[in-house]
Structure 1
Amino acid sequence: MIYEGKAITVKALESGIVELNFDLKGESVNKFNRLTLNELRQSVDAIKADGSIKGVIVTSGKDVFIVGADITEFVDSFKLPDEELVAGNLEANKIFNDFEDLSVPTVVAINGIALGGGFEMCLAADYRVAAETAKVGLPEVKLGIYPGFGGTVRLPRVIGTDNAVEWIASGKENKAADALKVGAVDAVVAADKLQAAALDLIKRAISGELDYKAKRQPKLEKLK
């Protein structure tokens, strides 16, 4: 085991490929609470420190992927001074940026609902494979807030500004097939084929058949 926490584990699968698995203990769903964010920081650091790793697939141990942030923590967070709120958001974004900037390809396997921070985690990966039953979106507007983990920056660069504005402003949950049409995900497969599809994709990226650095580059540049 490369990393083991209460919300995330990172384990070796085969030939340099590791699986970063979200499975929040004691909860029916995965969510981005402080614990999960802290463990994602530690997980990314552990992956960066292991020179034998050639690729990362991101999975969920629940029936959903990640439903979003833990809104029960918002009350205490919103009581903080503005400077602390800004600093906290910047620190959270650095975690997602560091995951995105890993020197190896990354593939996320979206097995169910991936909303808010959950979908922002997906956007930070190089490739996204979704099960046919999955739904993705950024519903934060329904709570009166903006996507805070990089969604406002990454989504326009992945699906275009017009589509991204519509997704963010409506807060709509989008079916996998609709997400595929606009390029929010790269492939849609049957649920029982998801793990195999993610492994196949990461192997193709590791071998050089797929240029993951070129795929990543638009997210690192100014919006065209």
Structure 2
Amino acid sequence: MTDERACIYVFSLKDGRSADRRLELAARHYLRASGRPCPGPFPGIRRTEQGKPYFPGSGMPCFSITHSGDFWICVLFPASIGIDLQKHTRKQGEAFPDAVRRFGRMAVRFFHPEEASWVTDPAKQAPSLSYRRFFDVWAAKESYVKYTGTGIDSRFGNFSTVSSPLPASPASGAQVDPALPFSWQAAGAWFCQVPFLNGCSLCLCTDRPAVPVLCLQFFS
């Protein structure tokens, strides 16, 4: 396993395991696959003053956790990393055009102006694209604040995860294969949009280009 691989472990929220047990299973598998020694009793999670979780001790990987819908996901990587999964949702009984308009208003309220424009510009001509972009941006922004450890605060709209101009960037209007991971730089970090299920947006954020690897051996 190379250091550039970000191992994404997917669990079901209905598997009966605790969050700590899922994280331990993923970390032990990651360490064995990396050729690193596994601790006997697994160290408990600690948190920074800002609330970012981490494993104490040397030789332990960095990690980030997200859950949405029926999925609980963690990613392990040699350096600080953030991950976020967003299931594309609507209010019960909400018509699709109403949802697009509502998410457009949310983008203007909570996102950086560049991000808000990227979300709302296609709303009339391609409402499904506008709808998807809202969740793509939200996942990117949450992955960023998990990577930095700041969490969602009043500065959530101060940074942009949309980088333009950038060759082959979704923000530049280029065609991107949805079946392949797509990486770009913005806000002083590297982002990677990871193909997952239809109706979901999954994004990584770290300080370097990362190769996402989906690990499904614990999903049941």
- TM-score of the aligned structures, taking structure 1 as reference length: 0.28
- TM-score of the aligned structures, taking structure 2 as reference length: 0.28
Higher RCO (C-alpha under 8 Å, 6+ residues apart): 2
Higher helix share: 1
Q: Which has the larger radius of gyration?
A: 2
